[in-house]
Amino acid sequence: MKIRYFDNSATTKVKKEVMDKMFPYFVESYGNPSSLYALGRIAKAGIEEARKQVANLINCDKNEIYFTSGGTESDNTALKGIMYLNKNKGKHLITTKIEHHAILNTCKTLEENGYKVTYLNVDKEGIIDLEELINAITKDTVLISVMFANNEIGSIEPIEKVGRIAKEKGIIFHTDAVQACGNVEIDVKKMNIDMLSLSGHKIGAPKGIGALYVNKTIEFKKLIDGGHQERDKRAGTENVAGMIGLGEACEIAKNNMEAHVHKLQKLRDFYFSEIQNEIPDIQINGSMEHRLSGNSNISFKGIDGNELLMKLDEKGICASAGSACSSGSGMPSHVLTAIGVTSEYAEGTLRVTFGDENTKEDVEYLVENLTQIVKEIRYGK
């Protein structure tokens, strides 16, 4: 059976060009980048080239990029690295109720260690209120962390405005841009972003590689102790091929952004209009205006989301009940709760996230099967 993959926010297929660029670093230029002989120097040069490619995607200096193992480590490093270093200045940080668990559970650990966290509300579209942010700032506030775009409902936050507020108040601003990178134009200088997390496997690079951007004026405490890699900020022998792959994926994302966004938006809008025509009692979650081009999140009234997913799987369709990380927990997702989706809708939520490989024919197949399955579950036919 042909597999139709609609879960590109969970992870993406590694791009062929990325694989080709990585391959020699496994079998030819496999030296340790810390080694002084040529094989090591070639690996090191490859890493520095990749660092430049990552920096170009978000308009920062290459020496402001630190490679990590992914979005989760970048988020942990940003929050703990700033809060621990500045503990004598203040112990308060502001974030939102709809962050990924990489941020929320890091905040939980910080709270267990005596730090105070304010979780901003969002409106029914999943967007924060800037007045609430301003009012939450105290003399103890050291860090604001607001995600660029939400992984479940795709809502894009007013990041440039948050950056301006943080700058005016002299507070460090971090954004989790794991879902936004490669899908939205990001300029950390223009947007006054001090720190930014990104992840390779969301943009056609492998799993287990990511990066943290940190403005060069900002000090942070390292998370992992050991050798002197990554300018003494992230110990451990480098994932050379992963870094090369991430660099290449960032360059491809930068060069193809416009066409990529346009294509995904067209597929997504076609899907929305077809589902609205074919299936009654549905609700589209998230903002229609400020939304990732490839994201759709629809709740089907009176449907069990897991049953829906299993029946789609039988047809070769891969999608998600919400966030890959929270599905299976049996609880409505914290994001759907925060935007006020009622339980009769929330339990039947399907996230379909489009990618470069999807075609209109794939979407037609999805709509046809989804319509049939919803009918079967609702009316037994």
Closer to ligand PLP by Cβ: residue 203 or 367: 203
Binding flags for ligand PLP, 66-105, as an x/- string (CB under 6 A)? ----xxx--x------------------------x-x---
Residues 6 or more apart whose CB falls under 8 angstroms from that of 128 comprise 96, 120, 121, 122, 146, 157, 158, 162
CB of 373 to ligand PLP, least distance (A): 26
Cα torsion 12, 17, 20, 21: sign? negative
C-alpha to C-alpha distance for 180 and 200, rounded to whole angstroms: 12
Q: Among 171, 176, 119, which Cα is nearest to 149's?
A: 176
Task: Give the ranges where 147-239 is alpha helix by DSSP (H).
Answer: 159-169, 229-232
Q: Which is nearer to ligand PLP, 71 or 204 (CB)?
A: 71
Q: How many chain residues touch ligand PLP (CB under 6 A)? A: 14
Phi/psi-derived region of residue 5, left when phi > 0, alpha when psi is between -120 and 50, beta in every other case: beta
Which of 18, 120, 128, 176 lies at the binding interface for ligand PLP (CB under 6 A)? 176
* Span from 40-48, 171-179, 239-247, 279-287 in contact with ligand PLP (CB under 6 A): 171-179
Q: For ligand PLP, give the closer residue by CB, 29 or 293.
A: 293
Map residues 130-149 to x or -, x wherever contact with ligand PLP holds by CB under 6 A: -----------------x--
Minimum CB–partner distance for residue 210 and ligand PLP (Å): 5
DSSP 21-59: HHTHHHHTS---TT--SHHHHHHHHHHHHHHHHHHHHHT
Helix (H, G, I), strand (E, B) or coil at 332: coil
Interface with ligand PLP in residues 356-375 (CB under 6 A): none
Which of 47, 57, 178, 193 lies at the binding interface for ligand PLP (CB under 6 A)?
178
State which residue has the least CB distance to ligand PLP.
Answer: 71
Site map 295..334 versus ligand PLP, x via CB under 6 A? ----------------------------------------
* Least distance CB 88 / ligand PLP (angstroms): 29
If the CB atoms of residues 241 and 373 are measured against ligand PLP, the closer one turns out to be: 241
* CB of residue 119 to ligand PLP, shortest distance in Å: 16
Q: Which of the 8 DSSP states describes residue 95? A: E
Element (H, E) at 353: strand 349-353
- H or E stretch at 125: none
| Least gap, CB of 87 to ligand PLP (angstroms) | 25
Which residue stretch of 52-60, 165-173, 176-184, 354-362 sits at the interface with ligand PLP (rule: CB under 6 A)?
Answer: 176-184
Residue 355 engages ligand PLP in binding (rule: CB under 6 A)? no
- Report whether 290 contacts 125 (CB < 8 A): yes
For residue 209, the minimal CB distance to ligand PLP (Å) is 8
Alpha-carbon span 238 to 156, nearest angstrom: 32
Largest CA distance in the chain: 70
Task: Between 261 and 377, name the residue whose CB sits nearer to ligand PLP.
Answer: 261
> Residue 36: which residues within 8 A CB-CB, separation 6 or more?
none
User: Catalytic annotation on 325?
Assistant: yes
Distance CA 316, CA 320 (A): 13
**Among the listed residues 240, 237, 236, 242, the one whose alpha carbon sits nearest the alpha carbon of residue 201:** 242
- Name the CA radius of gyration of the chain, rounded: 21
Token pair 């209109």 in the structure block, residue: 360
Q: Which CB, 6 or 303, lies closer to ligand PLP?
A: 6
Interface residue with ligand PLP, options 96, 151, 175, 295 (CB under 6 A) = 151
Q: Closer CB to ligand PLP, residue 177 or residue 374?
A: 177
Q: Which of 199, 293, 349, 353 binds ligand PLP (CB under 6 A)?
A: 199
**Among residues 29 and 68, whose Cβ is nearest to ligand PLP?**
68
**Catalytic residue positions, numbered:** 325
Sites of contact with ligand PLP (CB under 6 A): 70-72, 75, 100, 102, 147, 151, 176, 178-179, 199, 201, 210
